[in-house]
């Protein structure tokens, strides 16, 4: 084999090794970051399969169940009469919208102790994001017209002539 052929063979072998390595890293990265969304009822019927998977579970925070200790929080999620105790030990404190009756999503793993061990939580306040009912008056400064804001904030200001 010529010198030129040996160079192409070495280059091809190195290229194959790099491509296989990148493929392996991509595959393992996807497997590690993959999480399954399940309901509380589905989680409780999964059996031993629930202990080995990364899961996401949603529900409403049971009123009075939130116990805080720094960034560690314990609470109970409720969904259609089913409850799930959750222990959150993430690096960041829970969001400001994490309150009683808030909709919450916990991501982590289910322990053999019957507690869901969350590494991350998301929460939203249902009333804050609910659409405005037709015919109900808007409130707050955003709903005021510029003219009424000027009149309200500048003493003695008169309405502009039209």
Domain range 36-129, CATH architecture? Beta Barrel (2.40)
Kindly report the average pLDDT of the chain as a whole number. Answer: 76
Residue 162, pLDDT above cutoff 80? no
- Of the chain, the percentage scoring pLDDT greater than 70 comes to 72
* Predicted TM-score (pTM) of this structure: 0.56
Is pLDDT of 119 > 60?
yes
Residue 124 parent element (H or E) = strand 116-124
How is the chain split into domains, by residue range? Answer: 1-34, 36-129
Residue 86 has pLDDT above 90, yes or no: yes
Strand extents, DSSP E, 34-102: 36-38, 55-61, 67-69, 72-79, 82-89
Which pLDDT score is estimated for 89?
87
């Amino acid at each position: 084999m010529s010198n030129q052929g040996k160079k192409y063979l070495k280059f091809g072998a190195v290229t194959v090794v790099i491509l296989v390595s990148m493929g392996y890293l991509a595959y393992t990265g996807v497997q590690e970051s993959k999480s399954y969304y399940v309901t509380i009822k589905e989680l409780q019927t999964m059996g031993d399969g629930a202990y080995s998977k990364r899961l996401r579970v949603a529900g409403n925070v049971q009123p009075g169940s939130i116990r805080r200790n720094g960034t560690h929080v314990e609470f109970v999620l409720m969904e259609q009469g089913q409850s799930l105790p959750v222990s959150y030990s993430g690096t960041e404190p829970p969001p400001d919208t994490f309150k009683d009756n808030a909709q919450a999503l916990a991501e982590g793993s289910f322990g053999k102790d019957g507690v869901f061990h969350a590494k991350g939580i998301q929460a939203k306040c249902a009333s804050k994001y609910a659409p405005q009912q037709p015919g109900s008056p808007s409130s707050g400064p955003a709903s005021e017209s510029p003219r009424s804001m000027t009149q309200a904030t500048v003493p003695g200001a008169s309405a502009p002539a039209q």
